[in-house]
Amino acid sequence: MPTQTSLIVNADDFGQSHGINRGVGEAHAHGIVTSASLMVRWPAAHEAAAYGQAHPHLSLGLHVDLAEWAYRGGRWVPLYEVVPCHDAAAVAGEVSRQLASFRQLVGMDPTHIDSHQHVHLREPVRSILIEAARQLAVPLRHYAPAVCYRGDFYGQTAEGETLPDAISVERLIAILAMLQPGVTELGCHPGQGEDLDTMYRSERGVEVQVLCDLRVRAALAAMGIALVSFQHLHSPSSWSA
């Protein structure tokens, strides 16, 4: 019997600003977003958590937030650093604090874990989050064999140059056509307004429009792709490496 092709559409940066919260809510209520990753350190995190509690079909994971960089003047510059990413003890302590904050805000454990700007692709953050995911029995992005991650629905180059075609309806439908049987997580970054000083700003509103476009929903149906969330997954033993 052929394996079903299933898609989790996960919105990163939930809780980082009110504009991002509005965009995630719009893309969930009227679009294809099924999950979101919560940044617990920001003032808008309470609003995001309340939205999640009021909309239980939206899976909420922890978006571990250790630092952010921006490409400016031909080089990467830090916008902020919560703890040094090379300091294992500091990282472990901060991850524990953010997990505790998540539980306090949401009232339950996260359904999945990932990190802001993918800092967990490097050590020591990688090992610390793999262990956290193992203890929680939830998937960690890039390290959950049962879930393939795709990050190519993104409207900029690595240096912050705009790529409007990468977040068009046509491009998203092309990505859907390439999905393989099994579960895929598609990352996205919806938002409304530009109330945050980050590299990725105006593109967020475009993402909301595309994620809510009826042509995308029609393409999913035509291709037989099932929209699911992290709540639908039931194989905790395969979540982390």
Give the residue numbers annotated as catalytic, written as ranges: 12
For residue 139, give every residue at least 6 positions away whose Cβ sits within 8 Å of its Cβ, in sequence order, or none.
Answer: 112, 113, 133, 146, 147, 230, 233, 239, 240
Query: From the CA atom positions of the chain, what is the Rg in Å?
Result: 17
How far, in Å, CA of 151 to CA of 154, rounded? Answer: 7
CB 142 within 8 A of CB 10: no
CB 145 within 8 A of CB 179: no
CB 109 within 8 A of CB 136: yes
Residue from 99, 98, 60 nearest 82 by CA: 98
Please give the angle made by the CA atoms of 103, 129 and 203, to the nearest 5 degrees.
80
Evaluated on CA atoms 169, 172, 176, 178, the torsion sign reads positive
